[in-house]
Structure 1
Amino acid sequence: MDSITQAALGATVAGAMAGKRCNGKVLLAGALLGTLPDLDVFIDYGDDISNTVKHRGFSHSLLILLPFSLLLAGLIQRVKPVANWSFSRLWLLIAACLITHPLLDNFTSYGTQLLWPIAGYFSLSSVFIIDPLYTLPLLIAIGFGLARKSALSRYCAIALCVSSMYLGWSLAAKAYIEQRAAASLDTLGINADAVFITPTPFNTLLWRIVVLDGERYWEGLASVLDAEQEVEFIAQRRGSWPLPVEPEHLQALKTFTHGFVRFDQQDKQLVVADLRLGMFGNLAFKFVFAEQDSAGQWQPIVPTRLAQGELKGDFSKLKDRALGDQQINASLDLCPSPCGLNASQLND
């Protein structure tokens, strides 16, 4: 999640656990602890692929954060003890502020290595990386609590309950969309190799569905407010790696994305994109893996990330589609020209 959300979460967790000891300093300490795991973005692992796939690694691991919280609590108690705070209470507060960060990140689509150094990316993919409906209760509780300090801890606890209920709603909404997607794919006769479902930006009403199907993939949009249950899908070319051997960086990216990648040839460059993050023609993570030489042969290079560039499509229709307007088709006018074909038009 974004830094503001993580800071707000850390502050409210600290406020709720501090009880009558809660004050502005406790909230500030919680906010700092809540953002601490994301400091790994300042680590340079040597190339753009490594920086991408190793983010949310050791600094987000429960196996690291729990012993680190013990160490930090012990250091504070030794160097500058907090009056009227036992070691166990201080440790629990620090641990809670730290581990709720990766646990919340786990609800997004990016992938979090919760058990590093044990390999594996965890992702429930039920909330967008920025979701005001999750963050606002936390910020409101902090604001009201600071204005009425006697109730600060109680406001924090209430806000955490409300935000947690919202996360529960997101999982229920995703499960509903999963059922609709599975039924629609069966009706259309699409044999899915894998299905990925994620909310569209800033909401949990409208969901993006990506279906791998050999060297093509399907994209669809479904709102929980749709009157019709069937999901319309648009087919896109997925492409394939043109060289006989896949480099380690490509294998790492495929592991990170669970295979949801697309291959494109653009201006004598071979571009590999993460299909999970972004929408249609506006994918957020694209990397150049190879370039064509004068003889037209592909030469692998150290992958570099492409700038996202100007967003394509009419995003003003996103709200109407989220509210269940199925007159806006699955491409949502965001598919770059030329668009793919829907299931009824595809002949190959």
Structure 2
Amino acid sequence: MDSLSQLTLGAAVTVAVMGKRVPLWQSALVGAVAGTLPDLDVFVDHGDAIRNMTLHRTESHALLLLTLIAPLLGWLVAGMTRSRPYWRSWCLAIWLALITHPLLDLTTVYGTQLGLPLTDFPFAIGSMSIVDPLYTLPLLLALGVALWRRDARGLRWNRAGLLVSTLYLGWSMLVQAFATHQIEQALVRQAVQPQQVLVTPTAFNTLVWRTVVMTPERYGEAYWSLLSPSRPLVIRWFDRHAALFEGFRGEWHAERVAWFSHGFYALRQQGTDTLIADLRMGEAPDYTFTFNLGTPQQPAAAPERQPSVRPSLSQAWHKLRERL
């Protein structure tokens, strides 16, 4: 999820645990920092764009490792804030602020390796957009009221914000399951036999869902709306140029994208170079993560990420209205 959501969630969780044991601004500040800490791994350069993408949300998002460092951080914070009697509460609050970060990231489609060091599998539910104001605003509003009031009623507001935002996450998963069922039924009616189907929300909402349909030779992209569930599913098909992958079979960067994307990838030629795109994020023809692999004879030692075109807010709003 976006940094504002993670910061706000960390602050809200810590305020809820610490209550009036310490000043609310203090617990909110500590929670905001703890909720932001896991994403500081974006400042680590691993040498090339593909490594940077696939090594984000790794050790810093591992539930076991975060659990191990939480007591140390709790002890340090209790000393810095001169609240040693509450160090156990600080440990719990900071632990929750830390682990709710990867758990929230888990709801997006990117992939979070929260099982390290036991497994490096990039887990992803894909029921939430990276940015969704309907998740963040209740948290932010309720936390603001709590910091403004600084009393028991303010704390109830904060807990209500956590409840509403958590229920919204549950809503997203229920709608995703319903959308997936409807889309699979539509594929059966169209006699499409896919290898894989991905269903994720479009930006800023949980009403319009994007689906990627994979077959051995091509992939399809379609949109489904909760407000018009019976509308025929219109699939745009594209050649995934699977044969191009054979020239890069065994090459680390190409194999890494194929693994990280869970098989939702496509290739294409650009001059003499081969580009590989993770189809889960963005939409045709501009995907958020597209990389230049070079040529089979001379693979790129450090593949570069290709620039993607982001629609303006007015264009995004127009597309959303159409798809609704």
Query: TM over 0.5: same fold?
Result: yes
What per-residue deviation string (whole Å, max 9, x for no partner) do you get for residues 198-246 of structure 1? Answer: 1001100000000101110111100111152542211111112151633
Counterpart amino acid of residue 268 in structure 1: T
What per-residue deviation string (whole Å, max 9, x for no partner) do you get for residues 110-147 of structure 1? Answer: 00011112221111101100000000011101222222
Counterpart amino acid of residue 213 in structure 1: T
Conservation of the 8 A alpha-carbon contact between 1:8 and 1:31: yes
154-163 or 19-28, larger mean C-alpha shift: 19-28
| Mapped pair 1:137 → 2:138 | yes
Unaligned runs of 5+ in 1: 292-296, 324-348
Identity %: 38
In structure 2, relative to structure 1, the CA distance for the partners of 1:227 and 1:272 (3 Å cut) is closer
Larger helix proportion, structure 1 or 2? 2
| Mapped pair 1:104 → 2:104 | yes
| Mapped pair 1:146 → 2:147 | yes
Query: Which one of the candidate residues 189, 192, 201 is aligned to 1:190?
Result: 192
Q: Distance between the aligned counterparts of 2:322 and 2:13, measured in 1?
A: 35
Q: CA RMSD in A?
A: 1.9
Measured after TM superposition, the shift of residue 20 of structure 1 is 2.1
| Mapped pair 1:257 → 2:270 | no
What per-residue deviation string (whole Å, max 9, x for no partner) do you get for residues 235-264 of structure 1? Answer: 111112151633011111111100111101
| Mapped pair 1:276 → 2:280 | yes
Counterpart amino acid of residue 170 in structure 1: S
| Mapped pair 1:266 → 2:270 | yes
In structure 2, relative to structure 1, the CA distance for the partners of 1:24 and 1:244 (3 Å cut) is closer
Helix, strand or coil for the counterpart of 1:45?
coil
Unaligned runs of 5+ in 2: none
Q: Distance between the aligned counterparts of 2:44 and 2:178, measured in 1?
A: 39
Q: Distance between the aligned counterparts of 2:254 and 2:275, measured in 1?
A: 11
Q: After the TM superposition, which residues 36-115 of structure 1 pair with which residues of structure 2 at under 5 Å, given as runs?
A: 36-77=37-78, 79-80=79-80, 82-83=82-83, 85-115=85-115
In structure 2, relative to structure 1, the CA distance for the partners of 1:86 and 1:224 (3 Å cut) is same
What per-residue deviation string (whole Å, max 9, x for no partner) do you get for residues 81-137 of structure 1? Answer: 642643321110010000000000000110001111222111110110000000001
Conservation of the 8 A alpha-carbon contact between 2:77 and 2:90: no
What per-residue deviation string (whole Å, max 9, x for no partner) do you get for residues 16-47 of structure 1? Answer: 11122351111111101100000000111111
Counterpart amino acid of residue 201 in structure 2: P
Conservation of the 8 A alpha-carbon contact between 1:17 and 1:93: yes
Counterpart for residue 170 of structure 1: 172
Counterpart amino acid of residue 185 in structure 1: L
Query: Which one of the candidate residues 245, 249, 252 is aligned to 1:245?
Result: 249
Measured after TM superposition, the shift of residue 75 of structure 1 is 3.5
Q: Distance between the aligned counterparts of 2:246 and 2:138, measured in 1?
A: 49
Helix, strand or coil for the counterpart of 1:197?
strand
Q: Distance between the aligned counterparts of 2:229 and 2:100, measured in 1?
A: 37
Helix, strand or coil for the counterpart of 1:243?
helix
Counterpart for residue 217 of structure 2: 215
Conservation of the 8 A alpha-carbon contact between 1:125 and 1:197: yes
Query: Which one of the candidate residues 228, 233, 236 is aligned to 2:235?
Result: 233
Counterpart amino acid of residue 95 in structure 2: A
Helix, strand or coil for the counterpart of 2:304?
strand
In structure 2, relative to structure 1, the CA distance for the partners of 1:242 and 1:321 (3 Å cut) is same
Q: Distance between the aligned counterparts of 1:5 and 1:76, measured in 2?
A: 23
Helix, strand or coil for the counterpart of 1:277?
strand
What per-residue deviation string (whole Å, max 9, x for no partner) do you get for residues 22-76 of structure 1? Answer: 5111111110110000000011111111110010000000011000102222334
Measured after TM superposition, the shift of residue 317 of structure 1 is 2.8
Measured after TM superposition, the shift of residue 298 of structure 1 is 4.5
14-23 or 63-72, larger mean C-alpha shift: 14-23
